Chain A
C-alpha cells in the first residue's frame, strides 16, 4: 500500500495525518499560536511511531503550502523539502489549503462553493475557479457567493494527505513545494530619495 504523511502549520496549529492507501491510520492536531517549529517534527515522529512506521516507510509527503501565516507555511515547507532531500523515494507534494478544501470528504459541503481561507484583519484569501487566488475584505468575498472554509486542523491534514495521494497516484514529477503567499512581501523603497548628482 501507499503510505502518505500529510502535515500543516499554516495557521495556529501543528496538524498531521497518516494515510495507508485509502485508509486513514490517524489524524491529529495540536492548537498552538507559536512553537510549531519546535513541535512539528516530534508530532510527526510520534504519529509514525504509534503505527510502527518510520520515515523510510513513506511513499510520499503531502505538505500544506497555505495560504495562511507566512512563517507557519515556511516551517512546514522547509521541513518537507529537507525530508524529501533525505528520502529520495518519498517526494514532497505541495497542497494548497484551497485544494485541501476541495477534496473535503463530504462533497456536499463544498459543491458550488468558493474555497476561502481566513486572513488577518477580517480578510479572506479566495480562490475562484479558473482565477488567480486573491486577498479580499470579508464583506467583498462573501458577496462572491457561498464560501467553503478550511476544515478543523486534523481534518485539514487528512485532506492534504488525500490530495497528495491523488497527485502521487497520477505519477510524474512534482515541483518542490513552495509557499502560496498570495500577498506580496511588505517592503517599500527607502523614503529619502538619492541626492541629485551634479555634473
Chain B
C-alpha cells in the first residue's frame, strides 16, 4: 500500500455495467468515496444475453455521465485526484475501448497519470479493498463471463490454478432460465425457482469431476438441460411450475457440486503454501447464489479456511475495485501512456510476467 494516500478515479465498462468510482487508498486502508454503477439489463432483456454492440453503444454515451456523478458524490474535482485507472481488458472490446478512450481524454485534459487495470485483478484484489485480507489467499471468481481459481500472492502476483474451459456458470444460469421460461437475468430467477424444487429430480452431469485438477466445463450441462427439457415438453406439451422448479433445483445442485469439489481441490493446492491465515474469497455475481455460497462455506469450515465474500455491490462489476487495483499498481510504480490498448483477452497469471505493465512499452505490457 502507498506510504501517502492516493485518490483515484476508476472506470469500468467491460461487460454490461457502466461504472465509475473514486477510491482513496492510504497506509490506514482504503475508503470508497463514491461508486456509481449504471446497468443495462433492460437493453439486453429481449435478446436473452448481453449483445456486444448494444452494450458498446450504451457505454459510449454513459461513461462520462457516470464519471461526473462519481466525482460529484465524492465532492471532488479532477484536480483532487492522483490518477485515472481504467479497465483495459479482458471483456467485450467495444465497451472496454470506450472506457479506455474516455479515461485517456480525462487523463490528458486533466494532466493525470493513466493506469490500465486488468478487470480480473480488480475482482481478485477486492478482498483487500473490503477487508484488508493478507496475501496469499485463494480467489474463486465466478460470474457471467468468468470462472477461475486464482492464488493471489501480491497485487501483481496471480497464479491461475484452474478455470472453465468453455462457458462461465453465469451464462449457464442465463441459458437455463431461457430454457425454462424464467426471466433474465437467470441467476436470481433460477435460484428463486429452485427453492421449491427437488434437486434430485433430474441427474445432470457434473462435467470434469472425474478428472484431476481444477478445470471446469459447463457447456455440456446446458445441453443436458436442453435435452431433458425437450423430452419433458414432448411428453407433456409444456412445463409445469413444478417442472421449472425441479429443473432449476437439479441444475443448481450440479453447478454447486462442481464448484464445491473443484474448490476443495484448489484449496488443497493453496494450503500446500502453508498460509498463516488461510482464506477463500469469492467474487462475481454467481457468488451471490445462496446454495453455492452455502456449499463453499461448509467446505471452508470443514477445511479450516476462513471464507470471505464482499458485499454484492462489490462482488459484481464495479469501478471501485478498478480504482483500488489501480492504486496498488501505482504504488508499485506502474504507469501507462496514451498508447494504452484495450484488450479483449488478457489472462491474469504470474507465469506471463509482462502482463501487468512492468516495463514493457505501452499497452501490451
Chain A interface residue count, Cβ-Cβ cutoff 8 angstroms: 42
Cα A51 to Cα B56 in complex, Å, equals 35
Q: Which residues of A contact B111 (CB under 8 A)?
A: 55
Specify the chain B residue showing the minimal Cβ separation from A83: B105
Contact across chains for B101 and A197 when beta carbons are under 8 A apart: no
Q: Which residues of A contact B54 (CB under 8 A)?
A: 185, 187
Chain B interface residue count, Cβ-Cβ cutoff 8 angstroms: 54
Partner of A80, one of B105, B237, B243: B105
Partner of B109, one of A85, A176, A186, A197: A85
Cα A79 to Cα B98 in complex, Å, equals 8
Check A194 for interface membership: any CB of B closer than 8 A. yes
Partner of A74, one of B94, B109, B229, B340: B94
Within the complex, the shortest CB–CB distance from B353 to chain A, in Å, comes to 22
* Cβ proximity bits B331-365 to A, threshold 8 Å, 1 near / 0 not: 00000001111100000000000000000001100
Q: Which residues of B contact A188 (CB under 8 A)?
A: 47
Partner of B239, one of A84, A179, A197: A197
Known: A37-B101, A38-B363, A190-B47. A82 touches B178 (CB 8 A): no
Contact across chains for A55 and B109 when beta carbons are under 8 A apart: yes
Contact across chains for B53 and A79 when beta carbons are under 8 A apart: no
Known: A37-B97, A86-B109, A198-B238. A189 touches B46 (CB 8 A): yes
B61, B180, B240 — most chain A CB neighbours (10 Å): B61
B57, B108, B236 — most chain A CB neighbours (10 Å): B108
Cα A41 to Cα B337 in complex, Å, equals 10
- With A74-B60, A196-B239 given, name 19 new contacts (CB 8 A): A38-B341, A39-B339, A41-B108, A70-B94, A71-B56, A75-B101, A78-B98, A78-B102, A78-B105, A81-B64, A81-B102, A82-B64, A82-B109, A86-B108, A179-B57, A194-B181, A195-B239, A197-B240, A198-B243
Binding site for A on B (CB under 8 A): 46-49, 51, 53-54, 56-57, 60-61, 63-64, 67-68, 78, 93-94, 97-111, 178-181, 229, 233, 236-241, 243-244, 338-342, 362-363
The list of the 5 closest CB pairs from A to B, nearest first, reads A82-B105, A86-B109, A196-B238, A78-B101, A41-B338
- Show 15 A/B contacts (Cβ-Cβ < 8 Å), sorted by A: A42-B338, A74-B57, A78-B99, A78-B101, A81-B60, A81-B102, A82-B102, A85-B106, A86-B109, A179-B60, A190-B49, A196-B239, A197-B240, A197-B244, A198-B238
